[in-house]
Structure 1
Amino acid sequence: MRLFGHRPRLGTSICGLSHPFCCGSGPCGAVRGGARQKRRAGGVGGDDFFSFGTSFVPLAAVPPTMLLAALGSAAAGFGALLFLQRLLCPFFWEDVLYYLRLRAAGRAIRSRMKSGVITFVDRFVEQARRIPDKPFIIHEGRVLTYGGAHDRSERVARSLRRRSGLRGGDIAALLMANEPDFVCVWFGLCQLGCQVAFLNCNVRARALLHCLRSCGARALVVGSDLVNLLEEVLPSLQEVGIDLWVVDHSTSLKGVNALLENLDSELDEPLPSDESPPVNITSNFLLIFTSGTTGLPKAARISHLKAVMCLCFLRMCGATASDRVYVTLPLYHMSASLLGIGGCIELGATCVLKKKFSASRFWKDCEEFNVTVFQYIGELCRYLVNQPEVPEESSHSVRLAVGSGLRPDVWRDFRKRFGKIGICESYGLTESSIGFLNYTGEIGPIGRASYFNKLSMPFELLKYDPLSYEPIRTESGRCVKVSKGETGILVTPVSALNPFLGYAGNPSMSEKKLLRDVFHEGDLYFNTGDLMLQDHWDFLYFRDRIGDTFRWKGENVATTEVSEVLGNVDFLQEANVYGVTVPGYEGRAGMAAVVVKPHQTLDGKKLYSHLSQHLPAYAWPWFLRVQMSLDVTETFKQQKMKVVEEGFCPAVVRDPLYFLDKSERDYVPLTETLYERIVSGKVRL
């Protein structure tokens, strides 16, 4: 019998056999048919009969011992089934319930679309009309309600329509830090029918010009606290005719317009209904730039469909309308804008928005603003664990932390110290709709690869070449799936429900992310570039990102695995693992930039002992670089490019360097003399 798919019709035997308890056709079906006819004729109801053999016996005539025996057998059988289920499929019911929640969320979205609520901003407008007086954003003591945010965004739209040439389909870039007007300007531009490009607040002259050119922006809106970024590139921007705006009441920069000038006096009139072109749900909604950890940022196109799907994130994590969600991540990234702000909009919840993350203020803010849910990414939770204890960390109301990138060692430390907070780890990409959620509470996995999850989010893990990181293909040109317990490249089919719109202004990079003829001629898959492992319980684990994994002594070294082991050393606070080239050797030798905990010292012998117990020799870092802090992006992703380029030369690196001396079972200071002996081959690795 198939568990899913065709369901036997009522009156048809499930198993096809004739036996006492069959509810189908055949001999027993005929008897039941007769019983049904008798009931229709006004005979004794079916509840008064007990099936015995091929006959129906009145219940009153059945001995009580027989009834008890039958009930006992049924209970024993049911108990055995439950035991087998817990033994062989312990997460079956969690998988089923999560799948049902996904289906319910999908039905709700489709129902709204039928009534005309199609886009991300449509959902915000709907909520603003439903709960106009509810706090939407709390920021630095200021409360902006749903209705107030809607009114302000419409005023922004009317002002820009009257004073600029922006129209539906144009691309407008937004360079703003976390503040309520980020959302109001964003939604105002969307109501004009513009596509909005979120710019990283840390971009400077060259990168800023690159971003604007690559996405084809016709206008740039800058926050008042970032207006200094315009000064260096102002002539270049004006030369190409970009319309420049600052979110302020006035400005001294020539050729730059003040968006808030006379904003409050804008007439309260609706925008023309023909202002925006009809929305195609698979068309572009946003452009979000990558962090640029490996080069200049790329503008990933985000469809309306993906944005609408992001609305459900907080609901799927267990948040509710009564929650207050603390968002400290930058709004120019998808995590804070689409998942954080969008999640609050979907629920009708309140967002407590912070301009910038502060580990020392975190728990104080949570208590002051009655925060119940917070978002994390990268190493944010590690920073909290490494902070001195404060009274607020045990007196707050936080019940749930949601996000991605939480390493298992930090996860365990966080639960040990802040055990009452549930953690909902997830995985997602800006460029694709593929995503996972760990709804079981197990430490380490980023999600599940169950049968049900693959129904709603199909994906595969492919075998890859450890040198080129390209998928391995057979003689027929087809890719090969990995076995359970084996690391592979995560790929997902490109479809109408999972489109890949590519990178703006970068067709060659867009094409590199696509795999064609993967399993069949003509199929198309998106290559995430992430290495994943599916274990025998169908949990998914993030192993590394292609480019981070390196090869040494003929073996692949996963930087995340080494970082996790280093994270368990009691005197180390943080570790950034990467590979460096050494003259005379193939591949790259392991190196780690580490931060030592306050009031602690580097103990080389203890570190050597720890590594020898937990890692194979080829994965041990040969070089250490001791830093005061690690270079990270605003979403706490570790920056590797600079430290990789600087390598392990004492004349280049100003931080203390150490070398793994296996004969001494210790890490010893890396002097210039020792360095020369290593690169000349006199000291072998």
Structure 2
Amino acid sequence: MLLSWLTGIGAGMIFLHCVQRHWFPYFWDDFWFLLKVVRFGVQITKCKWRGEQVTVLDKFLSHAKRQPQKPFIIYEGDVYTYQDVDKRSNKVARVFLNHSSLEKGDTVALLMSNEPDFVHVWFGLAKLGCVVAFLNCNVRSNSLLHCIRTCEPKALVVGADLLGIIEEILPNIPQNVSVWGMKESVPQGMISLIQKLSTSSEEPVARSHHVASSLKSTCLYIFTSGTTGLPKAAVISHLQALKGSAGLWAFSCTADDIVYITLPLYHSSGSLLGICGCVELGATCVLKKKFSASQFWNDCKKYNVTVFQYIGELCRYLCKQPKREGEKDHQVRLAVGNGIRRDVWRQFLDRFGNIKMCEFYGATEGNICFMNHTGKIGSVGRTNFFYKLFFNFHLIKYDFQKDEPLRNEKDWCSQVKKGEPGLLISPVNTKNPFFGYAGSYRHTKNKLLFDVFKRGDVYFNTGDLMVQDQENFLYFWDRIGDTFRWKGENVATTEVADVIGMLDFIQETNVYGVTVSGYEGKTGMASIILKPNKSLDLEKIYEQVVTSLPAYACPRFLRIQEKMETTGTFKLQKFQLVEEGFNPLKISDPLYFMDNLKKSYVPLTKELYDQIILGEIKL
């Protein structure tokens, strides 16, 4: 009898296992991943119940006490232990405590490239309870001034290699902003932070300076090109920083991992996922000033890297490198990032070995994220009934001609079917708040959709089109509206158009992104109407864009039109222009290409077009 029962139970388990494998193949992957998500949420809730507001800084200080001699940052061969970073950041905190009028809650802007002092200054200011605003190192002139004014800092800290950029705009920086340079000798009107650090104490400041009153209070501003205009300062709360820091852990990284960070720290991927992610784990990071495709694998071998962060372009650059012997001879087991194309994904694995690509999706300021915990090629993540209990979202129909969500006769939005692209939106509520942007509420309001499915509901508009397949995997499809992504950066088309529109011979400019074969994202193209009786000056346009815009935002192509189509709401029509691209055989309007050698735009001929498509001319 017992034998028959055991046989029946065994047969039943085998049957259930077969059913699970056939009908629910990702059940256990989903189960263990969601268990991690729940566990992380429970940890935060427990701390809250105990009246503790444990921040990323608190976790760093805990590691500095528990494992002081463990390497935290490795930079150009130099090792900075947790204790080293703690002491150096104490010196920074002491300088500002003794030589400035900074108070808890004040904002300090930070303009620095990737280097250990970026982290020292960031953590030192955090120890004073200051909000740190990360400025994009590529932004120049009026755009940089705009960023400084937007976050309203009391002080600005500038890296030694970027002092020249600030010196150009120093007379226009608000007078109440003290400017500190990371160099012994700094231009007139600045203060040498390096000199002050040389005599500063390493003694820690009182915890009362930085203890958080709430995890929803602001700790950072990270600038992002939103849907319109100049960069906006996204508000990053302690809670968002904690969630970002859990990314590496959620992808099964451990304290024993060595994480290679080549992405800029002024972006959330490098700072929150990278630096804060290592703090969450108590791990070591190898920090690189700038990504180098030729040095990448040598660095990985030299420092025994086990995990690296990527964007799609980074992986594409690595695949474009000449093949060498021993390319699979490394210890890298995981790569965490976003934006990699399927073909590059497959090519990367074939060439460099069994590396698990951990793709994720999430906007800096957004309240929704996805993580591809299964490794499905091309997918940014996966959803199911239980996942949506924690991270609710919808994919809604979008009118590409009008460039806005599609609404029915009752003025409600509707969801797309599986397999169709839809605009990703996420409800804004207490559980999933949207903290918005510094400055005018108008910027925050522009990222929200109201009365979507019922009166009074509010949704965060990601600005991204996604597709959900029959197995509930999610895929990035495209960006909408007035932004495009190039070289790993978001570009606001109106900012580019405003810069070009300053020229006295241009009447109207319409900027949009176009796809170029073999490249991630879209590169910039500007359609231009000249003023009556004015001639086109291609050298002046070139000088204007390279002087005023970051390199990634400069339009690579120009199109000269006699008139421009508008939508029903009088917005410039982009859809048709994007579809037509830059093929001179299909477009009768004059086309031009940005030539950096000639420092001008030159006519886009059929021969030049073919060279670009074949990859013989690099963009």
State whether TM-score is above 0.5: yes
Does the Cα contact within 8 Å between 1:96 and 1:452 map onto a contact in 2? Answer: no
* Distance in 2 of aligned mates of 1:84 and 1:640: 54
Letter in 1 for 2:131: Q
Tell me: CA distance 1:668–1:467, structure 2 relative to 1, closer, same or farther (3 Å). Answer: same
Confirm or deny that 1:152 pairs with 2:92. no
Confirm or deny that 1:227 pairs with 2:163. yes
Confirm or deny that 1:305 pairs with 2:229. no
Does the Cα contact within 8 Å between 2:396 and 2:425 map onto a contact in 1? Answer: yes
Greater CA drift, 126-135 or 357-366: 126-135
Confirm or deny that 1:393 pairs with 2:333. no
**2:393 matched to which residue of 1?**
459
Confirm or deny that 1:240 pairs with 2:175. yes
Tell me: CA distance 1:448–1:76, structure 2 relative to 1, closer, same or farther (3 Å). Answer: same
Does the Cα contact within 8 Å between 1:531 and 1:546 map onto a contact in 2? Answer: yes
* Distance in 1 of aligned mates of 2:296 and 2:212: 43
Deviation digits for residues 239-260 of structure 1, max 9, x if unmatched?
A: 5321110122x22422211112
Match of 1:512 among 432, 446, 463: 446
**1:643 matched to which residue of 2?**
557
Tell me: CA distance 1:278–1:378, structure 2 relative to 1, closer, same or farther (3 Å). Answer: same
**1:553 matched to which residue of 2?**
none
Tell me: CA distance 1:396–1:668, structure 2 relative to 1, closer, same or farther (3 Å). Answer: closer
Confirm or deny that 1:442 pairs with 2:442. no
- Structure 2 matches for 1:604-619, cutoff 5 A? none
Letter in 2 for 1:302: I
Tell me: CA distance 1:235–1:445, structure 2 relative to 1, closer, same or farther (3 Å). Answer: same
* Distance in 2 of aligned mates of 1:259 and 1:392: 45
* Distance in 1 of aligned mates of 2:353 and 2:448: 42
Letter in 1 for 2:239: L
**1:547 matched to which residue of 2?**
481
- 5+ residue gaps, structure 1, are 1-61, 551-557, 568-572, 584-632, 661-666, 671-685
**1:652 matched to which residue of 2?**
592
**1:85 matched to which residue of 2?**
20
Letter in 1 for 2:353: G
Letter in 1 for 2:557: V
* Distance in 1 of aligned mates of 2:407 and 2:170: 50
**2:505 matched to which residue of 1?**
none
Confirm or deny that 1:178 pairs with 2:114. yes
Q: How far does residue 493 in structure 1 lie from its aligned partner after superposition?
A: 1.1
Q: How far does residue 178 in structure 1 lie from its aligned partner after superposition?
A: 0.5
**1:163 matched to which residue of 2?**
99
Deviation digits for residues 461-486 of structure 1, max 9, x if unmatched?
A: 11121222322223333221111111
* Distance in 2 of aligned mates of 1:639 and 1:539: 32
**2:276 matched to which residue of 1?**
342
Q: How far does residue 580 in structure 1 lie from its aligned partner after superposition?
A: 7.8
Tell me: CA distance 1:74–1:364, structure 2 relative to 1, closer, same or farther (3 Å). Answer: same
**2:52 matched to which residue of 1?**
116
- Structure 2 matches for 1:223-622, cutoff 5 A? 223-237=159-173, 239-248=174-183, 250-272=184-206, 274-276=208-210, 278-291=212-225, 295-391=229-325, 393-547=327-481, 566-567=517-518, 576=522
**2:129 matched to which residue of 1?**
193
**1:137 matched to which residue of 2?**
73
**2:142 matched to which residue of 1?**
206
* Distance in 1 of aligned mates of 2:319 and 2:202: 49
Letter in 2 for 1:96: F
**1:94 matched to which residue of 2?**
29
Letter in 2 for 1:200: N
* Distance in 1 of aligned mates of 2:262 and 2:121: 19
Does the Cα contact within 8 Å between 1:284 and 1:304 map onto a contact in 2? Answer: yes
Tell me: CA distance 1:413–1:282, structure 2 relative to 1, closer, same or farther (3 Å). Answer: same
Secondary structure of 1:499's counterpart equals coil
Secondary structure of 1:286's counterpart equals strand
- 5+ residue gaps, structure 2, are 485-511, 530-548, 561-581, 594-600, 613-619
Letter in 1 for 2:256: S
Letter in 2 for 1:652: Y
Q: How far does residue 520 in structure 1 lie from its aligned partner after superposition?
A: 2.6
* Distance in 1 of aligned mates of 2:483 and 2:236: 28
* Distance in 1 of aligned mates of 2:611 and 2:98: 66
Deviation digits for residues 168-223 of structure 1, max 9, x if unmatched?
A: 11111000000111001011111111111100111112111110111112211001
* Distance in 2 of aligned mates of 1:528 and 1:490: 6
Secondary structure of 2:59's counterpart equals helix
Secondary structure of 2:423's counterpart equals strand
Tell me: CA distance 1:273–1:358, structure 2 relative to 1, closer, same or farther (3 Å). Answer: closer
Does the Cα contact within 8 Å between 2:524 and 2:553 map onto a contact in 1? Answer: no
* Distance in 1 of aligned mates of 2:12 and 2:553: 57
* Distance in 1 of aligned mates of 2:524 and 2:312: 17
Letter in 1 for 2:99: R
Q: How far does residue 659 in structure 1 lie from its aligned partner after superposition?
A: 5.9
Deviation digits for residues 607-647 of structure 1, max 9, x if unmatched?
A: xxxxxxxxxxxxxxxxxxxxxxxxxx99x9x7585536676
Does the Cα contact within 8 Å between 2:56 and 2:280 map onto a contact in 1? Answer: no
Give the fraction of aligned pairs with identical amino acids, expressed as a percent.
50
Q: How far does residue 578 in structure 1 lie from its aligned partner after superposition?
A: 7.4
Q: How far does residue 340 in structure 1 lie from its aligned partner after superposition?
A: 0.3
* Distance in 2 of aligned mates of 1:187 and 1:308: 15
Deviation digits for residues 353-404 of structure 1, max 9, x if unmatched?
A: 0000000000111111111110001310000001012345222211111101
Secondary structure of 1:74's counterpart equals helix
Deviation digits for residues 135-182 of structure 1, max 9, x if unmatched?
A: 000001111111111111111011111111111111110000001110
Does the Cα contact within 8 Å between 2:313 and 2:520 map onto a contact in 1? Answer: no
* Distance in 1 of aligned mates of 2:384 and 2:402: 30
Instruction: Answer 1 or 2: higher relative contact order, Cα 8 Å, separation at least 6.
Output: 2
Q: How far does residue 119 in structure 1 lie from its aligned partner after superposition?
A: 1.4
Deviation digits for residues 10-59 of structure 1, max 9, x if unmatched?
A: xxxxxxxxxxxxxxxxxxxxxxxxxxxxxxxxxxxxxxxxxxxxxxxxxx
**1:107 matched to which residue of 2?**
42
Letter in 1 for 2:43: A
Does the Cα contact within 8 Å between 2:383 and 2:474 map onto a contact in 1? Answer: yes
Greater CA drift, 214-223 or 116-125: 116-125
* Distance in 2 of aligned mates of 1:119 and 1:399: 29
* Distance in 2 of aligned mates of 1:574 and 1:275: 44
Tell me: CA distance 1:70–1:549, structure 2 relative to 1, closer, same or farther (3 Å). Answer: farther
Does the Cα contact within 8 Å between 1:657 and 1:669 map onto a contact in 2? Answer: no
Tell me: CA distance 1:399–1:261, structure 2 relative to 1, closer, same or farther (3 Å). Answer: same
Secondary structure of 1:181's counterpart equals helix
Tell me: CA distance 1:224–1:388, structure 2 relative to 1, closer, same or farther (3 Å). Answer: same
